[in-house]
Amino acid sequence: MPLVSAFFGILIYMFKEINSPHHKPHVHAVFAGQKMSIASDGEILAGELPRKQQKYVEAWAALREDEINASWIALNESSEVIKIKGLEG
Instruction: Return the C-alpha torsion angle 5, 83, 28, 76, nearest 10.
Output: -170
Q: How confident is the model at residue 21 (pLDDT cuts 50, 70, 90)?
A: low
**What Rg, from alpha-carbon coordinates, does the chain have?**
12
37-64, pLDDT tens digit by residue? 999 999 999 999 999 999 999 999 999 9
89 pLDDT more than 60:
no
Are the C-beta atoms of 74 and 80 separated by less than 8 Å? yes
Residues 6+ apart with CB under 8 A from 40: 24, 25, 26, 27, 61, 65, 68, 69, 72
